[in-house]
Amino acid sequence: MKFGIVVFPGSNCERDSFDAAVRALNEEAVYLWHQDTDLQGVDAVILPGGFSYGDYLRSGALARFSPMLNSVRTFAEQGRPVLGICNGFQVLTESHLLPGALTRNTSLQFLCRQVALTVENTKTLYTHQYTQGQTITLPIAHAEGNYFAQPDTIKQLEDNHQVVFRYAEDVNGSINRIAGICNKAGNVLGMMPHPERNLWKQTQWTGEGRPLFDSLYTSILKTLASV
C-alpha cells in the first residue's frame, strides 16, 4: 500500500504524515511535489499542514492551482481517499472538493494546543475504528480554522452526517464547532486538528490519532481485496 503526501512550498507537516504511513502503518509513502502531475500509483493522498505558497491571497488558495492538485482532484472524483489536514483542509475548501471556507479564528490568535474532539460519524473510511461519540484529543495549530458556510450548506452537512469531528467546546468560532467534514461520497476528509501529531503514547503507537490511519489502512485493504 502506498500513501502520497503532497508537498507545496511552505508545507511543514509532510514528514509527520510520511511517518504515519511508514513508521506507524509500516507501509510505503512518497512525497508528491506540487509541480508534478504523476500520483505514482498511490492508494491515498494526504494534503499536509503548513503554509502552502506562504498563505498568499488566502490560505490554501494558490495550492489549488498547482498541477498536482489537478491530479488529486481527478483522484478524488474517482472516489479514492484524500485526506486534508489543517492547511490541507483549507486547500480542499478552496478547491471546492469540500464546501465552505476557513476564516480567521475569532480570537485572531494563532492557536497551538491540544483540543478535545468528539467523533461524530464512525461510518467513514477514516473513522470506523473510533466509537460513535468518542472524545479524543488532538493538537491544533492554525490561525484560520474558523469554519464558515452558508446556513443551507451547514444544514446539508449536518443532515448527511458529513460533520466527522466536532470540537468539544468552541475554540476558533467555527459554526456548530465543526472541526472536520467529509464530502458526500465520504472519500474526501478535511480537518483542522492534526491526527498525525498524536500517534505515540508512552513509546507505543497508540495515540488518539492512530485509529484514523488504521481506519484508512483497513478501508484501503478492503478496496484492494475487492478489486
Partner 1 sequence: MTTTASDVLIEGKAKIVRQDTTAHQVRVIFKDCATAFNGEKFSEIPGKGELNAKISGMLFQLLEEHHIPTCFVALGESANELVYNNLTMIPLEVVVRNHAYGSVCKRFGFEQGMAFKQPLVEYFLKNDAANDPQITESMIQERGSLPASISLSLLERRALQINEIFVAFFEARGIRCADFKLEFGVDAQGVLMLGDELSPDNFRLRDVKTAQVLDKDVFRLDLADLIETYQTLLKRMEAPTKLALDQPRTYWAQVFVKSRKNILNPESKAILTSLHNVGFTSVNGLQAGKRFEVQIEANTMMAAERQLLKIAEDVLSNPVIEDFELELGLSGGVS
Greatest alpha-carbon span in the chain = 48
Site for partner 1 in 128-147 (CB under 8 A): 146
- Residue choice 78, 108, 169, 226 for contact with partner 1 (CB under 8 A): 108
Q: How far is the CB of 108 from partner 1 (least distance, A)?
A: 5
- For the chain, report the end-to-end CA distance as a whole number of angstroms: 14
Binding flag, residue 30, partner 1 (CB under 8 A) = no
Binding flag, residue 101, partner 1 (CB under 8 A) = yes
Cα→Cα distances 11→14, 33, 160, 180, Å? 7, 11, 31, 20
- C-beta of residue 175 within 8 angstroms of C-beta of residue 83: no
- Residue choice 14, 55, 94, 208 for contact with partner 1 (CB under 8 A): 94
Binding flag, residue 100, partner 1 (CB under 8 A) = yes
- DSSP letter at 22? I
Binding flag, residue 148, partner 1 (CB under 8 A) = yes
Binding flag, residue 52, partner 1 (CB under 8 A) = no
Which residue among the candidates 86, 144, 182, 208 is catalytic per the annotation?
86
Q: How far is the CB of 112 from partner 1 (least distance, A)?
A: 18
Binding flag, residue 44, partner 1 (CB under 8 A) = no
Q: CB under 8 Å to 201, separation ≥6 — which residues?
A: 207, 208
CB neighbour burial string for 190-207, b if at least 16 within 10 angstroms, e if fewer: bbbbbbbbbbeeeeebeb
Please confirm, yes or no, whether 86 is among the known catalytic residues: yes
Binding flag, residue 106, partner 1 (CB under 8 A) = yes
Active-site annotation, residues: 86, 194, 196
